[in-house]
Structure 1
Amino acid sequence: MSDGRLNHRYRALDVPVPGGTLRAGVWEPTDAAPGAPTVLLVHGVTASHLAWPFVVDRLPGVRVIAPDLRGRGRSNGIEGAAGMAAHADDLATLLDAVGVDRAVVVGHSMGGFVSVVFAHRHPERVSRLLLVDGGLPLDVPSGLSADELVAGILGPTAARLSMRFADVGEYLEFWRRHPAFAAAWTAELEEYLAYDLVDDGAGAFRPATSYATTADDTVDMNTGTALPEALAGLRHPTRVLTAPRGLQDDPPGLYAPEYLAGVLEAFPEVTHERIDGVNHYTIVMSPDGAAVVATAVREELAAAATTA
């Protein structure tokens, strides 16, 4: 497993949270100086902490903590509802478990929304926010049912959660045909995908994330109160990176330029950069995208250090 092996020592950590146990990955830098900085990385709606080794490899000297959000990866046995507030409180518990008071927080996709709510509910734990193709309101019609909302935002990504696979090889072949990774297939990606597959109890395998969890979280982040309240009270320096192509490598991505311009006008304190040449996945799960994100992380860590 890659797991940041060039510059870090990786370990898995299980943390008790309401309803069960939260799995997290911790990457300790092999050449850490005293007081090495810490960054908390929060993955997307159907992902896991193993979406991040691409970025971790490019953060020498930085301690990295990344959870499997409840209902995903090896945190998929947690009972009870999810939602942005529950995820945010889990992040605070995770930081307590690893003895970290405050961190730069990076959220990709749904992880961006979770990060914004985390900063609102636990402001003392966050120094700066870096949102990667997520975290700001999406352009979705009002009045949709939960299934319509999930289908409209996630499309085939949501449909995959109900599929069954004979083994890891079949799952990898499914993803090899996915347009998002046509030009970005790597060993790290295979490790991430293999980790995502779990026994369905009936002789086959399924993605670790359940459709019900995805639907609940998608509805909450688009129609619930936690996100708008958090954005209205945004007090941390916040930077957003967006991708010009979406989940199917299709333009204009999650945030069409004209729509995003209006959102940014409503939040003038948020800075924005559009990253060319990547889609919603490859902005973190490819060497080129991870290099851009890692550079932004280092810049945010440097800015946090000057204001500490």
Structure 2
Amino acid sequence: MGMKDHHIKTNHIQLHYIEYPAPGKPKLLMLHGITANAHAFDGVIRAGLGDDFHIYSPDLRGRGESDKPAFGYSMEEHARDIIGLLDHLGIEKAVLCGHSFGGLLSAYLSANFPERVAALILLDAAHELNPNAARMLLPTFSRLGVLYPSFDVYLRMMKKAPQNTFWDEAMESYYRADVHIDKNGITQTNSNLANITAMAVGLTSMPWATIFEHIHQPAILLNALGIYTMEQALLPANLAKKATKLIENCEYAVIDGNHQTMLYGKGAREIVAAIRVFYKKVKHLVPEDKTVPANG
């Protein structure tokens, strides 16, 4: 299966996105987590999603190969980036699939740009996380801004990270896209800790319960209940189910793994199966494909 890299201008920044072509298949836009990058879904795509969907996965602003402005990390700015991407691709109404922060961005788009969203797939994203979420995410945030002597050292550290309860070969492409390596081998994450912190703080001021209540498209929330850190799940079942009740028409299913590992191995296969079933229920809501082949 091929993969194509593209760079476009949208909302005054350069946005990088990956295209996984599948001619004749329905389009799916996938949005990654807060410190992640466009390769976050490599495990799900390898698990078979790329056989059934023509997938687009952008690096959100401040991550990966996309521009990293000093300011402008509100949910509105993120949303306008994605609307610009949809315009570029000629996608009238998208099926959105978002993990964690990307799920919240998908929810925001669904509520505030309803004419551009046909259906919504939330991967471990809800209006409220575990009360200990800030401490639970410290191991993930702690890799940002650190200088590692080589990529091999960085990768060994990631293999030992507490949230990575097992290792899947698809994780390596994700972590390779997570960093830049200078001529001496010094390795550092592409994401800037200050920018990511600004995003995290901004999330806490958003009226997420109200936003979820304004989602009227069909939705499904796929919830990973495995231990993430601190012997707890990042999104407990009670909060996930509460989120599904806020949305007018939202299904719920449990996926193997934790908030991170759900995207790989058995969890990835279960996500693929759930998306296939869900899409059959909503495909009548997706306009006839008018996508213009991207050449950016």
Instruction: Check the 8 A contact 1:41/1:107 in 2, yes or no.
Output: yes
For the pair 1:195 / 2:186, whether they are aligned, the reply is no
**Runs of 4+ residues over 4 Å off in structure 1:** 199-203, 261-268
Distance in 1, matches of 2:89 and 2:6, equals 9
Correspondence for 1:134: 125
Equivalent AA in structure 2 for residue 294 of structure 1 = V
Distance in 2, matches of 1:74 and 1:246, equals 31
Q: Which runs of 5+ in 2 are unaligned?
A: 287-296
Q: CA deviation at 1:19?
A: 4.1
For the pair 1:27 / 2:8, whether they are aligned, the reply is no
Equivalent AA in structure 1 for residue 91 of structure 2 = V
Q: Which whole-Å deviations, capped at 9, do the CAs of 1:8-63 have from their partners, x for residues lacking one?
A: x211111112342110001111xx33xx3100000111111111122223121421
Sequence identity, in percent? 25
Correspondence for 1:298: 276
Q: 1:217 to 1:77 in 2, by over 3 A?
A: closer
Correspondence for 1:172: 155
TM-score of the aligned structures, taking structure 2 as reference length: 0.87
Correspondence for 1:75: 66
Q: 1:182 to 1:255 in 2, by over 3 A?
A: closer
Give the SS at the match of 2:197.
helix
Q: Which whole-Å deviations, capped at 9, do the CAs of 1:255-274 have from their partners, x for residues lacking one?
A: 22344444444446322112
Equivalent AA in structure 2 for residue 185 of structure 1 = D
Pick from 44, 60, 70: which aligns with 1:55? 44
Q: CA deviation at 1:165?
A: 0.6
Q: 1:238 to 1:251 in 2, by over 3 A?
A: farther
Instruction: Check the 8 A contact 2:163/2:228 in 1, yes or no.
Output: yes
Decide which moves more: 132-141 or 168-177. 132-141
Decide which moves more: 191-200 or 170-179. 191-200
Pick from 164, 169, 183: which aligns with 1:181? 164
The equivalences for 1:1-308 within 5 A come to 5=1, 9-29=2-22, 32-33=23-24, 36-57=25-46, 58-59=48-49, 60-140=51-131, 151-152=134-135, 154-186=137-169, 188-199=170-181, 204-225=186-207, 227-248=208-229, 251-267=231-247, 269-276=249-256, 278-284=257-263, 286-308=264-286
Instruction: Check the 8 A contact 1:71/1:78 in 2, yes or no.
Output: yes
Q: CA deviation at 1:224?
A: 2.3
Give the SS at the match of 1:297.
helix
Instruction: Check the 8 A contact 1:107/1:132 in 2, yes or no.
Output: yes
Q: CA deviation at 1:215?
A: 1.2
TM-score of the aligned structures, taking structure 1 as reference length: 0.84
Correspondence for 1:147: none
Q: CA RMSD in A?
A: 2.4
Instruction: Check the 8 A contact 1:151/1:158 in 2, yes or no.
Output: no
Instruction: Check the 8 A contact 2:35/2:191 in 1, yes or no.
Output: yes
Instruction: Check the 8 A contact 1:176/1:185 in 2, yes or no.
Output: no
Instruction: Check the 8 A contact 1:115/1:135 in 2, yes or no.
Output: no
